[in-house]
Copies of this chain bind each other. A is one copy, B any other.
Amino acid sequence: MSMKTAIQPTRSKDYPQWYQAVVQAAELAETGPVRGTMIMKPWGYALWELLQSYLDKEIKKRGHDNIYCPLFIPLSHMEREAKHVEGFAKECAVVTHTKLIEDKDGKLKPASPLEEPLIVRPTSEMIMGELFGRWVQSYRDLPILVNQWANIVRWEMRTRMYLRTSEFLWQEGHTAHATEKDARKHTKKMLDMYVDMCQNMLAMPVIPGEKSENERFPGAIETMTFEAMMQDGKALQLGTSHFLGQNFAKASKIQFQDKDGQMQYAWTTSWGTTTRLIGGLIMTHGDDDGLVLPPKLAKHQVVICPLLLKNSDHTAILTYCQELADSIAKKSLDNNHIRVHIDTSDKTGGEKNWYWVKKGVPIRIEVGNREVTSRTVSIKKRWENHKAQTMPIDDLVDEVQGLLEKAHKTLYKRAEDKLFEKMCWCENTTELWAHFKDKNAGFALTYWHEDNAIEKKLKEELAVTVRCLPYKTLLNKAKSGPCFYDNNKTGKLAILGRAY
């Protein structure tokens, strides 16, 4: 690492400010004109496109079709499922007019008030429910498996780019099934898909588990989550998969005739992930020099920086770089050609280097006259340090796929090590309160008997929530044991932590 870091402040100095500085330095986003909104800039949007392209294929492989439902929901439709509305009413953008007119002073003001206000979708359960109600008649129509890529609006009070914005992009899957068993199985299947995505694309270890009743999606019977730990020890919920039981089917009359001719309500699920994945990516892998990209999410996996001296002939260098780029682009990572870019800008070598460091490009290659003459390259690996390594051009071409694979594995392992370093077993209240004295304490693993009062106390005194009841055992603990709060009661294995 260089002594002077590219990002100020550093992580240890001020983590939230470091985060904003990385978003800016890597040109991922800037704030929009409306409070809490953001503009996704090319380098940030490219991350979303790569995630989207991967996830869209995975969703389709599992039998879903994409559809598109309207942005606006009539107010009266929101009212049908009481719990659901309660959960969203406080954060809805409401359209009340459909025209603008000029007042006496030439200022624009809203006109043509709507008879019934429209809600900008905070999620699409209600509209999908209505749709499914029309589509489903017989057990032969089930299951219905659809997905939608869309923008969502929730009027959040505290916003932060890529973590919580008033408008965000997501995918939302919605399904209806004939039996409870099928629906529950599907909910888990989609959670597993997300966990695989985190491992395969984002190089992020996550803990999948069940949400406590308090943390469930409004109207859900069960909410499955996958939680990651950021470098400051805080949890980030990256997405959820909900088993909705028959709640939405009853509200929207999704009924079908079963094989015996009996009318039944369907069982529905929904599941989604958002642009928040990018926030998680930044905070999992980023360092004090900026973004660090896992190779499969890098728009440019390799950037070649020719050292173009002023007033000299660049032909030989540029030809050499193009030859190198062409050879690398023929190689593949995960069945995709390796994405390589030549930076021909008129920046100096140092400027080019730091530009791509901050953007997190996995492999940077410097080519000057010396490299051309000796048919070598000077490479720097973003996931290791900034020390240059010289190697013959042919060796690099042979090894580039292996290097990128190694980058992915290294980032995953590093994040996993951090996660377990910062996960602490807490036997009782004393240990738990002691653990969370540290502002940057990581997760606490403990046994908890599902009790609202304890959750409330944790939140009020420690700003800690139950992140999930993990599906797998952790730290070799059994799945249940004496509750940390009251040893006479049996609790379930639970992850507790502060969260974004």
Looking at the assembled complex, report how far the CB atom of A35 sits from the nearest CB atom of chain B, in whole angstroms: 9
Q: Smallest distance from the beta carbon of A11 to chain B beta carbons, Å?
A: 27
Task: Mark interface residues in A87-109 (1 if CB within 8 Å of B CB, else 0).
Answer: 00111111111111110000111
Q: Which residue among A41, A74, A95 has the maximum number of chain B CB atoms within 10 Å of its CB? A: A95
Q: A77 to B33, Cβ gap below 8 A?
A: yes
CB interface residues, A 377-410, toward B, < 8 Å: none
CB 8 Å contact bits of A120-160 with B (1 = contact, 0 = none): 10000001001100100000000000100011010100000
A85 at the interface (CB under 8 A from B): yes
Picked from B49, B89, B95, B167, the residue with its CB within 8 Å of the CB of A100 is B89
B contact residues around A45 at 8 Å (CB): 65-68
A92-B100, A98-B93 known; A70 vs B32 contact (CB < 8 Å): yes
Smallest CB gap from A130: residue in B? B33
Cα A37 to Cα B96 in complex, Å, equals: 16
List the B side residues contacting A42 at CB < 8 Å.
65-67, 146
Pair B73/A96 contact, Cβ less than 8 Å: no
Known: A79-B108, A108-B75, A108-B79. A68 touches B39 (CB 8 A): yes
B127 and A33 contact, CB distance less than 8 A: yes
Interface residues of A in 154-194 (CB under 8 A from B): 155, 166-167, 169
Answer whether residue A425 sits at the interface, using C-beta atoms and an 8 A cutoff. no
Query: Which of A67, A70, A71, A89: most chain B CB closer than 10 A?
Result: A70
Q: Is A1 an interface residue (CB 8 A)?
A: no
Which residues of chain B have C-beta atoms less than 8 A from A127's C-beta? 32-33
Which B residues are CB-close (under 8 A) to A110?
94, 96, 117
Task: Evaluate whether A66 and B92 lie within 8 angstroms (CB atoms) in the complex, with A108-B85, A153-B71 already known.
Answer: no
B contact residues around A230 at 8 Å (CB): none
A94-B96 contact, Cβ under 8 Å, with A33-B70, A108-B78, A167-B70: yes
Instruction: Give Cα A90–Cα B112 distance, bound, in whole angstroms.
Output: 9
Given the contacts A94-B97, A155-B99, A89 and B108 also touching, CB distance less than 8 Å = yes
The answer to whether B38 and A70 touch across the interface, beta carbons within 8 angstroms, is yes
A65–B46 Cα distance when bound, in Å, is 8
Give A69's nearest chain B residue, CB to CB: B39
Q: Which residues of B contact A33 (CB under 8 A)?
A: 70, 73-74, 77, 127, 130
- B68–A40 CB distance below 8 A: yes
A73 to B33 alpha-carbon distance, docked (Å): 7
Chain B nearest Cβ from A491, distance in angstroms:
37
Chain B neighbourhood of A90, CB < 8 A: 99-100
* A74: contacting residue among B34, B130, B146, B150, CB under 8 A: B34
